[in-house]
Amino acid sequence: MTGGRAAELADRLRERIALGEFAGTGAIESEASLGGRYGVSRVTVRRALESLREQGLVEPRKGAGWFVVGAFHQTLALGSFRHAPSAVGELGRRVERVVVDFGFRAAPAHLLDGVLRLAPDDEVLYSRSVRSVDGEPLDLVHEWVPAAVAADISRADAQAPGIWQSLQRAGHPVDAVRQTITAAVATPADSALLGVPAGAPLLLVRRVASDATGTPIALSDHRYLAHRFALEVEFRGGPVAATPEPPGLRTVPTSPTTEENP
């Protein structure tokens, strides 16, 4: 069969992996079953699985078939927050972080008043790092922390245990996290660090942490490889009758005078 059929099958399996269809044991259907389900030859199935293995998503186990090994789901129950390492660690995998950029600098203009509530002259601690699972890249992380609360954080702290955990240890506990999820693509700079082609799909997750007073104390942008990571959110209760818009959605205000508090 053609390479195009194998690529199409790989895309379908990658989507099923991202949706968590192989959760539990991680076992994938046999090559024969996959061939019958998708109407392709055994050779095509093998090519598709080999391409997924090259991406670190699956592996063959002698006498047992193929298994998902490199895709992770972070379950977010209503009212809770978990770091990706906890989701990955439950699977017995090893998470490592390599800091590639670290230092204090002027706060970027787009993060001033609207996100971190900083003045133009304020400084932030900036860190850029790559997290890998068992040696395979998972995400690229950009982090900004107001210098006022980041003075005691070192590059070693940013690498392990991480900036947010270091804030907790330094007496700046995270009380609430606002999370925004959207689609993105890898830039040339991203691709070099994540080991994917420029333009590869990414899952962009922005997290803003606040203390008990509601003051933002940290911002992180995670660029996850879309084929390796998914977020699941649990909602409680059904839709309310006569609700003008679906639950969980709200109109984004356009006037600064009517903007809601974050």
Task: Identify whether residues 194 and 164 lie together within a single domain.
Answer: yes
- Distance between CA atoms of residues 178 and 200, nearest Å: 26
* In a domain? residue 203: yes
Over its C-alpha atoms, the chain yields an Rg (Å, rounded) of: 21
Of 68, 87, 110, which residue sits at a domain end? 68
Task: Please return the burial class of 136, using the count of CB atoms within 10 Å of its CB with bins 0-12, 13-18 and 19+.
Answer: middle
Bridge partners (DSSP) of residue 144 are: 126, 219
**pLDDT tens digit string along 161-171?**
999 999 999 99
pLDDT at residue number 227: 84
State which residues of the chain have pLDDT below 70: 1-3, 19, 73-91, 238-262
How far apart are the C-alpha atoms of 96 and 41, rounded to whole Å?
39
Q: Flag whether 190 is in a domain.
A: yes
Per-residue pLDDT at 242: 55
* Residues 60 and 85 placed together within one structural domain of the fold: no
Q: In what order do the strands lie in the sheet with 95-106?
A: 95-106, 123-133, 136-146, 216-225, 201-210, 176-185
Residues near 130 by Cβ (< 8 Å), separated by ≥ 6?
97, 98, 100, 137, 139, 140, 141, 193, 194
110/23 same-domain check? no
Q: Would residue 78 count as lying in a domain?
A: yes
- What pLDDT, on the 0 to 100 scale, is given for residue 12? 84
Pair (146, 206) in one structural domain: yes
Whether residue 246 is contained in a domain is answered as no
Instruction: Tell me, yes or no, whether 105 and 166 share the same domain.
Output: yes
Q: How far apart are the first and last CA of the chain?
A: 53
Residue 244 DSSP symbol: S
- Backbone phi and psi for residue 142, each to the nearest 5 degrees, phi listed first: -105, 130
The range of the structural domain enclosing residue 189 comes to: 72-233
In this prediction, residue 50 carries a pLDDT of 95
> What's residue 2's pLDDT?
46
Question: Taking the model in full, what pTM does it have?
Answer: 0.71
Position 88 scores a pLDDT of 65
CATH no. for residue 25?
1.10.10.10
Q: In the chain, how many domains are there? A: 2
